[in-house]
Structure 1
């Protein structure tokens, strides 16, 4: 939490403290004025004195109200600004973190940390500038003034305050672990809910709606039971404190009444003492709220700091190297393994390609095809070897510059909410309308976009759910092609296309993209046959490299893939 508070403006904190002190002075001075009205005005029948002190009370109250308003305004603004800053920092951290760092925390947990956890810290920040300053100062000031009114009556607090401390301590001991547990249960609830939403089609296809409902009910029930349990524990606090306040009032009236009857205590002083006693007990109540909320906020702050302190294992070089004019891509004995894995995902891969060439990567499921192409834009960093683009090691140039030279189509077609135009401009903001139609034509998407009533301005729903799988893939391909790049990477991006569209798209690529390199990851032999160079992967190892004709005659793995997809007469 201390680390969070350091993000606040010092002037804002000082301003909040200044106005809070003025409010506290006003609150502590009012009982004294009430005492004076009773003892010097009411008992003596001095109406003029009553009016004079009454006007003073109104003035002091107005000062306290104004100070309270300004304190609340500063506290609220600073709390909201801190929340905004934390959300921005988390988003920025996640945006620039590596895939491994992102996967380590998980999407559901990141959502909880960005919303629920930030809200907890935000709320405690506001309370810090309100109650955490108010409660201890009021407690000390009211205790001193109460003692000044009647030292004997102050002895009542010797019994009351320890009782309060014991009760609050027991409640906190039982409640704080449950409050901390609620954060993890919120993560679990978000995870199950998110999986149910994103996988709704699969759930329905396998008739697992009932299973998922039960799964969600279990997570929801677990969260609900914990929340009910902690609230039941906390519900004991208020009635017990109310009972203690009532006992305190009765005790003050009982013993104070005797002192008034004996003439050792004036009525006004007794009334002032009762007000100070209420302020003391209310300060304890405010501190109790602090003890409840701070542990929750502390747990949230720890979770937020885990994200903010997450080390990014992919960073830009301190002294970036300059690009050469040589348009090429080369892998030199590249080895990569995922964190914690025993065996490499990519093992000693070597190849080289130049401008105008097409490289195809083929292999069985899990052979490392997608992993291989993800190494080029540095989504992961290799363990040994070197990947060079245009003659420069990709680790020795800034990530932004590197990715500016790459057009990438991921394995999963991802479209953003908006329009077709906004999605295409996402790939290249400076593109003209002519560029957009050209990219759509190459991607074989022009025909169906022209048929839409709004054309380029046709709406794209969340995730592109208003388009078919093939249409989404072609729009994603167009988004990559619209960007001027040195290398275009298609990670199994033709899988949802029929053979005819696949062939037409590859033909257009060959005709139009002549000044860049093309890498195609594919499952189908028909997609890779015309590539200048084909790499065959098996369990991360490069077991074949060459043209289609060369591999067909000499490579056993490639022959097996061909046999599984083509008839004998097609192979011949």
Structure 2
């Protein structure tokens, strides 16, 4: 946790909180001494003036304690919340630069838990550190010393009480700490199932799996509830046990102290002060026990966050990067192989092709043939295992990811839209895009019609584009990519939700657009009609290029392509 705190907390605020807490504890420790003086020198002797004088002093120390407590709480809260804010910001900044491999290693639901629940645990521990962890040891030592000063004979009571406390707290920690650590993993499981249920709610309803998903969620929810019930039931023992011990200690002090007063060995005021110090000692032990229970949970959260922050990506920027400016537009795969991490077989084998400005490369093949994997190498969502991928005659590994992404405009399989307006989404890749540029991109993407009808560029876009149909979302995602000027435009099966006419009109508009003609266009498609007019068609089969050429060439000479065409003719999709 201290490693995480480095550079993320305000050290002056931490120092200020510590100083305020010291002042508060010293003031609280001095109050019982004043109480003893009032009883011994004021009440017992009938000295009203002394009572007023000592009472005024007690009021001053009380106000000082309250002011110090306020300052400590304010600085502790500010420090812990700022700590959490910086942690969340750093985690998000790290995650958005993850490659697909890193995202797969941790998982989306776990990342959400680490950014929310785990950070809250760290904040709680930070707050506890600046309150209890400073207060408890100072109060324990100070109260023990002052209690011994009042009467060293009575302090023998703690020889019996403190071991009982230690054994009680030890038993609670043995049973509670492992359960606290498990709660974070079980929170991950709830988030995973809940997130899958939300994103797949239409599929669940379509296949009438409502009961199955409900049982699945009830299972992880029950698991979390049972774990939480156990741990908080154990923790519930602490307070009644502490109350019993404190009450027993008070009874012993009064009984033994009464004999000392009767024998004129001890004054009444000193007994009252001793009882107060005894309570402060016991409360300090309780606070320390709470700290030792909750710190392991915070430590587990810190380890999970540190794992996310320390995750090293294989995709890094070169130390001496090249520049892509003013280089001829081109895309080239030079005998590229790719293997997923821990996979035995290659996902892509000896991919070799090239394209220059104005050319369109289409990729077609069966499900699982490696189409999306192939194009994911262009923006370095993955890195080639062997060979090289070159954009503008430069290996993508030899330029910074920032510069590379500036030259690549990418439309993924799933059309992701963000909450805001149509204009906000269109300016995602080019913040200074004008309305004219946006409308031109919408026109090319065949999206200008419904955008005009439904409110124009200021039309609200719900989360994920939920207020648009699948085809409309795809066209908006394509338009967003077209607003950005790039050397390579990549469309990963981005026409799948479009009807044949819209598909044909969109591809014709792409081919006729003078800006797009200056770039390389890569289209991944399932339908032959989508790829038929490409300059080069790559036919993938099991990660290998089973054919390369134009539609006519492949139709005449390539068996795999012929099978795809014939299957779609039988299905009525193509001629």
| 1:293 matched residue in structure 2 | 294
| 1:358 matched residue in structure 2 | 360
SS in 1 for 2:566: helix
Deviation at 1:236, TM superposition (A): 1.2
CA distance in 2, matches of 1:387, 1:208: 44
CA distance in 2, matches of 1:39, 1:526: 101
TM-score (norm 2): 0.98
Query: Per-residue displacement from partner, 1:28-65 (whole Å, max 9, x unpaired)?
Result: 11111111111111111111111001000011111111
Match of 1:554 among 552, 557, 564: 557
CA distance in 1, matches of 2:457, 2:10: 46
| 2:248 matched residue in structure 1 | 247
Match of 1:325 among 327, 337, 340: 327
SS in 1 for 2:176: helix
User: Structure 2 vs 1, CA of residues 569 and 286 (structure 1 numbering), >3 Å: closer, same or farther?
Assistant: closer
| 2:539 matched residue in structure 1 | 536
Deviation at 1:567, TM superposition (A): 5.9
| 1:311 matched residue in structure 2 | 312
SS in 1 for 2:518: coil
Contact 1:321 1:396 in 2 (8 A): yes
Matched, 1:164 2:165: yes
CA distance in 2, matches of 1:547, 1:162: 86
CA distance in 1, matches of 2:236, 2:405: 56
The two structures, once aligned, show a CA RMSD in angstroms of 1.4
Matched, 1:282 2:292: no
| 1:519 matched residue in structure 2 | 522
TM-score (norm 1): 0.98
| 1:222 matched residue in structure 2 | 223
| 1:340 matched residue in structure 2 | 342
SS in 2 for 1:367: coil
| 1:203 matched residue in structure 2 | 204
CA distance in 1, matches of 2:17, 2:466: 49
Contact 1:5 1:125 in 2 (8 A): no
Matched, 1:384 2:386: yes
CA distance in 1, matches of 2:556, 2:114: 56
Query: Per-residue displacement from partner, 1:204-242 (whole Å, max 9, x unpaired)?
Result: 000000111111111111111111111111111111110
User: Structure 2 vs 1, CA of residues 155 and 544 (structure 1 numbering), >3 Å: closer, same or farther?
Assistant: same
More deviation in 469-478 or 320-329? 320-329
SS in 2 for 1:335: strand
CA distance in 2, matches of 1:224, 1:514: 60
| 1:19 matched residue in structure 2 | 20
- Equivalent residue runs for 1:83-482 within 5 Å: 83-323=84-324, 324-452=326-454, 454-482=455-483
Deviation at 1:260, TM superposition (A): 0.2
Contact 1:492 1:522 in 2 (8 A): yes
Query: Per-residue displacement from partner, 1:470-526 (whole Å, max 9, x unpaired)?
Result: 111111100001111111111111111111111111111110021111111011111
Deviation at 1:551, TM superposition (A): 1.0
More deviation in 49-58 or 562-571? 562-571
Contact 1:473 1:496 in 2 (8 A): yes
CA distance in 2, matches of 1:162, 1:186: 36
SS in 1 for 2:79: helix
User: Structure 2 vs 1, CA of residues 561 and 26 (structure 1 numbering), >3 Å: closer, same or farther?
Assistant: same
More deviation in 322-331 or 166-175? 322-331
CA distance in 1, matches of 2:9, 2:163: 35
SS in 1 for 2:485: coil
CA distance in 1, matches of 2:14, 2:525: 59
Stretches of structure 2 lacking an aligned partner (at least 5 in a row): none
